Amino acid sequence: MTVRVMLISPGMNAALREARFAGDAPLDESGLRPARAAAAAGSVPVADQWLRGPSRRCHGTAGALGLRTDTEHALRDWEMGRWSGARLSEVSVDEPDGVAVWLADPAAAPHGGESLLELCARVGAWLDSLHGDSSGRVLGVVEPAVIRAAIVHALALPPQAFWRLDVAPLTVTELSGRSGRWNLRCGRPLAPEASIR
C-alpha cells in the first residue's frame, strides 16, 4: 500500500534569517503569522499521523498550525556539534578549512556532529520504516535539512545534491510511494503569504 508523507518546513525565525547552524531558536512573529493564517484558511493537509521534529521552531509551527503532534527524534535537525547556533559567516572565518571539507565531503563532520551521510541515513531509515498499512498519510513539521535529506534518500540522489535543494519556510514537500520507490512533489506553499507572486 502507498504511504503519503507530507513534510512541512517550519516558519521563519531570526536564526534562519541570520544563516545560523541549527540551534534551537523559537519562531518569531514573522513565522507565527503565516502559520496561523494557513490554519485559519484550512490549508493544512489532512493526515492519519502527525509528527514533528523536537526543535522549538517545529513545535511552535505545529502549534500555530493547530496540530497535535508527537515528537519524532529521528526527525531532529542536523546535529552540527560545536557549530550549533553559530553563523555560517563566523564559522567560515574561524574554520575555513573545516567548512570547505564539510561542503565537499559528505562523510566529513569537522564540527563534531553528524556528517551529511549520517543525516541522510538517519532520515532515510525513518522514511523506509513507514508502511502503508499502518501509516497511511503522515504529516511532519521538520527542519529544512531533514526535508532535503528525505528527498536525497527517497530519490536515490547523490549526497552532493543536498546542497542544491532549497526548502522555503512553510512549504509542503510530499513523498508518496514506499521504500525503494518514492515520487516527489515539492515546494507547495502552505499559506497564501508564502507563495511567490
Chain mean position to CA 165: 11
- b (16+ CB within 10 A) / e for 140-160: bbbbbbbbbbbbbbbeeeebe
State yes or no: pLDDT of 123 exceeds 50. Answer: yes
Kindly report, residue by residue over 33-60, the tens digit of the pLDDT. 999 999 999 999 999 999 999 999 999 9
CA dihedral for 9, 15, 21, 24, sign (positive or negative): negative
Convert the pLDDT of each residue in 85-120 to its tens digit: 999 999 999 999 999 999 999 999 999 999 999 999
Residue 5 contacts residue 180 (beta carbons within 8 Å): no
Cell numbers describing residue 116? 551529511
Q: pLDDT class for 4, splitting at 50, 70, 90?
A: very high
- What pLDDT is stored for residue 2 in this prediction? 85
pTM score, two decimals?
0.92
Q: Which domains does the chain have, with CATH numbers?
A: 3-79+120-194 (3.40.50.1240)
pLDDT band per the 50, 70, 90 thresholds, residue 194: very low
- Residue 133's pLDDT is 58
Burial classification of residue 197, based on how many CB atoms lie within 10 Å of its CB (0-12 exposed, 13-18 middle, 19 or more buried) = exposed
CA distances from 167 to 1, 16, 64, 113, 133 (A): 28, 12, 19, 22, 29
H or E element, residue 121: helix 116-128
Query: Hey, which residues does 70 pair with through a beta bridge?
Result: 51
Residue corresponding to grid cell 517550519 = 10
